Amino acid sequence: MGSLTVAGATGAFAQSTEVKIAYALARDSHYGAAADGWDKYVTDTSGGKFQFMHFPSSAQGGEREVIEGLQLGTGVQAVVVSSGALSNFVPEIGVTDIPFLFRDLGHARSVLDGPIGEGILEDFRGRDLIALAWGEQGFRHITNNRQPIEKPQDLAGLKIRTMENPVHIAAFETAGAAPTPMSWPEVIPALQQGAIDGQENPLSVIVSAKLWEVQKYLTVSGHVYSPAMLIVSPVFWDSLSDEDKKIFTDGAIKGKQAMRAFVDNSEKTGIDTARAAGMQVNVLSEEQKAAFQASIQSAYEGYYETFGKDLVNQIIATK
């Protein structure tokens, strides 16, 4: 972490503290929206005391690498990352990855903004990560180059990239697919080379990454809600005054709000954008979704064992 001189700044803030922030997608994605919202609030509220330096598009490596650097205090100071990569570090977050758990965006946001979500944020502190706010990617959908996915049998043998996430992997294995975990920077080349048939991601990612350039079919399955997180390094956090900690926390909440607004827009326009770009799109009906949910029912027993049936039922019961 270095100090930068800010032109025109005077007095105590003549030296600004550099905050390196990393995320997997481009600056004009929902990740970038979160980072920009966070950056603007902190910069404005601190009077320029902090200056953010952005590393979009996995410029600092895959999500696992940046999280490890964050824990050690050897990499960037802040990240916006997917929950999928975090389950290897804080297993408790994996409960949010259970397929067909959340009814809609409103339900997911109520859970994460309430006591359950707050409790999971607290769990991060014991794992050398300071999670300040929940971000959002939206509901995940399947893209592939083989065929439209309309029933569970269509997944049979489909080589589908998943995140390095045990909850997602178990679901796709149970459904008969061949889940292939890999970090995001490897995905586009693997699709181009035919090493995998497809992948699954929210519309916000599908549109931001222009996946229609390498994928033919989009199935709007909404099989998993995908949160993200705004996290800082404990080494950096411990260097902040109480006042600055509040500024960073409030800024992360601004980032969360910007990310959700981006997702709301993607959910409204993403399907039309993908169609216009040449993708063949099919939207699963509630009956079709129920068939997919039934096909992975045996995986739920494992989820209950890992996360506790009570917690899963509390989430389902949240209004």
Task: Give the residue among 72, 305, 117, 75 at the shortest CA–CA distance from 228.
Answer: 117
Task: Give the residue among 269, 255, 261 at the shortest CA–CA distance from 23.
Answer: 255
β-strand 217-232 against 280-283: which pairing, if any? parallel
Residue bearing tokens 């503290």? 17
Res 248: pLDDT: 98
Res 85: pLDDT: 87
Say which DSSP state 38 is in. Answer: H
CA distance 208 to 111: 26
Res 88: pLDDT: 87
Using DSSP's 3-state secondary structure scheme, residue 103 falls into coil
List the pLDDT tens digit at each of the 319 positions of the chain.
Answer: 444 434 444 444 458 999 999 999 999 999 999 999 999 999 999 999 999 999 999 999 999 999 999 999 999 999 999 998 898 899 999 999 999 999 999 999 999 999 999 999 999 999 999 999 999 999 999 999 999 999 999 999 999 999 888 899 999 999 999 999 998 999 999 999 999 999 999 998 999 899 999 999 999 999 999 999 999 999 999 999 999 999 999 999 999 999 999 999 998 999 999 999 999 999 999 999 999 999 999 999 999 999 999 999 999 999 9
Say which DSSP state 59 is in. Answer: T
CA distance 232 to 89: 14
CA distance 91 to 83: 10
Res 164: pLDDT: 85
Task: Give the residue among 187, 178, 127 at the shortest CA–CA distance from 156.
Answer: 178
CA distance 44 to 50: 9
Domains and CATH numbers, the chain: 3-317 (3.40.190.170)
DSSP string, 256-302: HHHHHHHHHHHHHHHHHHHHHTT-EEEEPPHHHHHHHHHHTHHHHHH
Residues forming beta bridges with residue 228, ordered by sequence position: 82, 135
Res 270: pLDDT: 95
What is the pTM for the complete model shown?
Answer: 0.87
Res 249: pLDDT: 98
